[in-house]
Amino acid sequence: MTLITADFVLTCNESFEIIEEGAVLFDTHILEVGTSVELKAKHPTVTVIETPQNSVILPGLINSHVHLEFSANQSMLRYGDFIAWLRSVIKHREELSALATTELITCKLQEMLKSGTTTLGAISSFGADLEACVEAPQRVVYFNEVLGSVPSAVDAMYGDFRGRLEASQEFTCKRFIPAVSVHSPYSTHPILAKKALQIAREEGCVVSTHFMESPAERAWIDTGSGDFQSFFSAFNPHAKPMCEAVEYLELFSQNPTLFTHAVQATKHELDTIAEQQATLTHCPVSNRLLGVGKLDLEAVQKENINLTLGTDGLSSNISLSLWDEMRSALMLHPKLELSSLAQTLLQSVTCNAAKALQLPCGVLEKERYSDFIVVTLPQACEKEDVALQLILHTHQTHLTFIDGETQP
């Protein structure tokens, strides 16, 4: 049992309580949270870790959507237009895959850890990131992806997906949790999606899917027109959208689901996501780089939808740091009040993400896992400004704990 103290403890609890001169008593789990004076008096003989001046203890950050297998991309892929990007992904897929070795992915996971990410939702397209994720110091929710739009290939695609799901299930433990990703409405046949969602329910897996990311996806799903029409007609001149948007959402009604992007979602679709008590994962930098438009965050907040934040992969980002992502989000949503947006963003990478991934971390309160970080601000800061100043100034952590163990 250890006590750690700091100028501020940012709990990320229901009331977003921030404790001045705070402390956390912990072993593998959090035992007590309070003021330093109170907890030192109550536990006079316990080992105490003091932190530098202007330090803040907060839950370890949770990146709910990242494609590690695309980590080798720097300047190979085309940005600014979704279909141009997708064509470049297809063109460079082999090359990028060959470069994304276990070593490279392990190195990216280490960088993520240094920046304070203690849990991630890894979207795995091929299973090439399995070893790195199993060996990672972080908690990993490992989303095995399924996709395929050709009806005659549904069984083969499902078989391949089941093989990867089962291979990942061999490693199930407290820090490695297999899950299911259905790629998107434009790439996954509803029959295939249904089969994957059924096994996800049977195995108790959370689910992730891309939804209404681009204007091209909107036009294709609504009217079978636009840039996806020319894209698909090269493979099949009779290609048609497989499912309406709300029908697609409803496939997920019985699965705990993270819908990623939703930049082009309608009010009715956001209503449906809210009714299903699902999560919306926002990837603002990816959306900017792929030229798909901007999420209506105000509408998402009005709907009371559980919001999380993801970096997406280095296929559509220049950084896997959630601090970089939160800084970008602050700048990309200039209409939202600054300090309340800072609070929303910190909630999206802590308590909201833990709820979405069904993990008992993300909040500094009794009985949660001891996944927390210590970051140090450059100067003293008012309590009211802690969330904002953390986002503006943090790059790396001072200390990182996972299951109460300090990380190198």
Which residues ranging from 51 to 80 are in contact with ligand MCF (CB under 6 A)?
Answer: 67, 70
By Cβ distance, which residue is nearest to ligand MCF?
125
Is-contact 58 390, C-beta < 8 A? yes
Residue 227 as a binder of ligand MCF (CB under 6 A): the answer is no
Q: Mask: binding to ligand MCF, 262-301, rule CB under 6 A, as x and -?
A: ------------------------x---------------
Are 128 and 97 contacting, i.e. CB atoms less than 8 angstroms apart?
yes
Q: Which amino acid is at 154?
A: V
Kindly list the catalytic residues.
Answer: 213
Nearer to Fe ion, 66 or 402 (CB): 66
Output the six-digit token pair for 80.
């600014």
Residue nearest to Fe ion (CB): 312
Given candidates 7, 145, 217, 325, which one binds ligand MCF under the rule CB under 6 A?
Answer: 145
Q: Which residues pair with 173 in a beta bridge?
A: 176
Burial string for 158-180 (b: 16+ CB within 10 Å, else e) reads bebbeebbeebeebeeebbbbbb
Q: How far is the CB of 180 from ligand MCF (least distance, A)?
A: 13
Which positions from 295 through 324 interact with Fe ion, judged by CB under 5 A?
312
Exposure class string for 330-361: b at 16+ Cβ within 10 A, else e = bebbeebeeeebbbbbbbbbbbbbbbbbebeb
Distances (CA, A) of 97 to 69, 105, 375: 7, 11, 35
Q: Is residue 313 within 8 Å of 68, Cβ to Cβ?
A: yes
Q: Toward Fe ion, which CB reaches closer, 217 or 312?
A: 312
Contacts with Fe ion in 141-170 (CB under 5 A)?
A: none
**Cα separation, 64 vs 348, whole angstroms:** 9
Cβ 213 to ligand MCF, closest distance in Å?
A: 5
Work out whether 83 is an interface residue with ligand MCF (CB under 6 A): no
Q: Which residues of this chain interact with ligand MCF, rule CB under 6 A? A: 67, 70, 89, 123, 125, 145, 183, 187, 210, 213, 286, 312-313, 315-316
